[in-house]
Structure 1
Amino acid sequence: MRLLFLGDVLGRAGRDAVTRHLPGLVERWALDFVVVNGENAAAGFGITEAIAQDILDAGADCITTGNHVWDQREALVFIERQPRLLRPVNYPAGTPGRGVNLFIARNGARVLVMNAMGRVFMDPLDDPFAAVAAALEDCALGAEADAVVIDFHAETTSEKQAMAFFVDGRASLVVGTHTHTPTADHRILPEGTAFMTDVGMCGDYDSVIGMERDEPIGRFTRRIPSGRFQPAAGEATLCGVAVEISDATGLAEAVHPVRLGGTLSQSLPPFWP
């Protein structure tokens, strides 16, 4: 099974990169399943229903989010009728939407996608480890699911790495999102789970984590905000991770970062033509 995960889509630049590159990648690599984190897609803050549909139309099978999921208030309503949009699973009971869902991939495989959010330097939600464990108990890899993908939206590398080892052997892929900077530690853990601490963003890297530079620099140097953060509008780098998953075990056989376009060094998976 061929799976592609794309990092936080930031603003119009990120959306343009996804709609420009993703359809061709789906065809070129014969992708079976695509997950995209879209929580910064609407001018850097949240996601709208129209933008979510554009990402799905480009080839995404599921959209994950994070701490900005409710920045666009309409998300509280449309998430209920859009099963392919997830919010973190460890929000309290009664929160609109769902944090986990089972999908059917293009090759017929059952893919469980889960979105969770860390608590270190983040909103103090429910325990993400307990929430993830409960979801895996309900829909286990190799039983009810042929592949399991976990988007762990968290600030610290330690919490992301702890989550990855916590589920090693019970998930196909654990990928970190949120910090908008790709890490260089993509690997397969001892029990067969692919992991990357942070996949990076789909956005303009000639920026401060995707935003025009002047405002964040001013806030750091003067400690006084002078305006709103505005997404950088240059050419985005499409950042993600490609994973080859065993049809027999649901565990990872190969993993490689994807970087396409923009200012970062380019990277494509050598195991796909």
Structure 2
Amino acid sequence: MEKSSLEKQQKLLDGQSVALDGIQFLTRFQSEALQESRNTLQRLKEFSQEQQEDLAKRQEKLQEVHDHLFENSKSMLEAQEAFEAKQANMFVALDKLFALHNAMLLESRVIKAFVIYFLSIFVIYMFTSTKQTYIIRPRLYIGLCVTLALEVASLRYVNDTERQAWIINLIRSLFALLASAQLLHAAFSYRDYEVLNHQILLRLVDKVNDMQNKKDLSYDEDTESEVDWTSWVDTDLTDDDDNLGDPDYKIPLMIKDNNLVTTSSMTRRLYNFRPR
């Protein structure tokens, strides 16, 4: 019994020694693990510190870059404001330049219109220099003045260039059409009343002369029956010019009037056909 108990105690002691060895091994392992964990924590701490320092440096650099960008943005904004001011001044100058260009264009068109209408006045004067078309000269001049006024008004109050050209061409075409129609109407419907009156007077004078000749013939026949021509033959007459006419002979009143009408008609036949 004692031997078995001793064996059991010996086994127990062996087990305890084994357990102590395991505990020592576990203790060493724990100490090594703690040391490794401490080393790891130390390395992690150092790494985190390095990362934090690096992050702080990067943040400082980012802040510097941000400040630099902010300053650059401020300078860009100032430059943009200055550019906008210069651009506004440029736009004002361009507006003034466009206004000056439009004024010069308007003046050039007005001068061109005045030149064209001055030539039109000369052309109208040439076409209305005849007797047939002289009567419509004032109407054509009035129409030309109205056309010029309408064209100047369209140039001054209409801003669209294409619309201005269309209105000006329409006004000029209407004036040319109306002027041509009036010229043709005046040329084909003209009646020279002075020439007609002259022809009528000539016909009347011819008729009066025929009537007077008939009366003279009848009067000569009556006088031939009453005059004794033998006494005229036997009478001695001198060859003086004063004695060639009969002092007792009186010209009838009708013949005097006829002579006056004849002389007046002859003077009227010298008609002045000079065009006005």
Q: TM-score, normalised by structure 2?
A: 0.15
Q: Which has the higher contact order (CA 8 A, sep 6+)?
A: 1
More strand by share: 1
Q: TM-score, normalised by structure 1?
A: 0.15
More helix by share: 2
> Radius of gyration: which is bigger?
2
